[in-house]
Structure 1
Amino acid sequence: MSHHDERTFVMVKPDGVQRNLVGDIVSRFEERGLKMVGGKFMQIDQELAHEHYGEHEDKPFFDGLVDFITSGPVFAMVWEGADATRQVRSMVGETDPAESAPGTIRGDYGLDLGRNVIHASDHEDEGANEREISLFFDEDELVDYERVDATWLYEDEDH
């Protein structure tokens, strides 16, 4: 990873997978210039769902979250790039699709809070990225490589 790079966790939720949006969502991040360093098509089990949503365990909507995230396959990813977490969050939009601007993933593909297509690590939560990446990926499942177009994406690319 170069000096300005950061890794961030993103997941296309079961509704996004069922609606065949994985390719479109991947393309958006690729076109923006982010680099996928890990990807996994998988079924989340109860245990992983409970860990992933642990912070919401006491809330009334917790069981619904767990039921939904385990209801079908997801596509988990790790993306890398300058300020990646904030860049991804701005592309994803607000938690509630109704408040998300057109052009964002949720603003284009979502109508309902409980079916908001995608999860992305929160840039305001310090350890969210590393915690979520390590929940879904082992270190050896993440690939370090140079993008051939890096000099066209970053002004100060030093290689």
Structure 2
Amino acid sequence: MTERTFVMVKPDGVQRGLIGDVVSRLERKGLKMVGGKFMQIDEDLAHEHYGEHEGKPFFDGLVEFITSGPVFAMVWEGDDATRQVRRLMGATDAQEAAPGTIRGDYGNDLGHNIIHGSDHEDEGANEREIDLFFDEEELVDWDLSTADWVYE
């Protein structure tokens, strides 16, 4: 099933120069970027983005971190894109992430784990996060010429 999913290189990934590597890994997997932008998240957007965690002890730290520097927000498309991205990202706690995953290769701990991706188990998360970060006209429908070589 072709779907769109939201992905973001967090401030630690941006500061460490990992945007290109993250994009490259997703492209090599056969996914197609349909939107991307370099941006600074303000507190209002951070509160909306992490709204389900409001009231939890770690909420303020999440907001402080995600607003501490620029991020690279993206929308990717492909068959079962959300699940594919989650596998490439690795476990949320970078110390538990398998080698070869983005977090396993570059993350150092739970808080500095390089990347965010929509959760495939949270129905509607993709659409909600995409709508928070992108207007419809910022997303580009295009044909990936290698798609026949990626999917049956």
- Match of 2:75, SS state, is strand
For structure 2, list consecutive stretches of 5 or more residues without a partner in the other structure: none
- Match of 2:99, SS state, is coil
Alignment: residue pair count: 152
**Structure number, greater radius of gyration:** 1
Q: CA deviation at 1:32?
A: 0.6
**Take 1:128 and 1:151, find their aligned partners in 2: how far apart are those partners?**
28
Aligned-residue identity in percent: 78
Q: CA deviation at 1:151?
A: 1.1
Structure 1 runs, 4 residues or longer, greater than 2 Å off: none
- Match of 2:144, SS state, is coil
**In the alignment, structure 1 residue 63 sits paired with structure 2 residue 67:** no
Equivalent position of 2:123 in the other structure:
126
Matching residue within 98, 103, 121 for 2:100: 103
Pairing of 1:1-159 with structure 2 (within 5 A): 4-155=1-152
Q: CA deviation at 1:112?
A: 0.9
Query: Alpha-carbon deviations, 1:33-87, whole Å to 9, x = none?
Result: 0000000100000000000000011101111110000000000000000000000
**Take 1:126 and 1:54, find their aligned partners in 2: how far apart are those partners?**
15
Task: Report the TM-score, using the length of structure 2 for normalisation.
Answer: 0.99
**Take 1:114 and 1:24, find their aligned partners in 2: how far apart are those partners?**
20
**Take 1:39 and 1:11, find their aligned partners in 2: how far apart are those partners?**
9
User: Amino acid of the residue matched to residue 49 of structure 1?
Assistant: A
**Take 1:19 and 1:57, find their aligned partners in 2: how far apart are those partners?**
28
Task: Report the TM-score, using the length of structure 1 for normalisation.
Answer: 0.94
User: Amino acid of the residue matched to residue 128 of structure 1?
Assistant: A
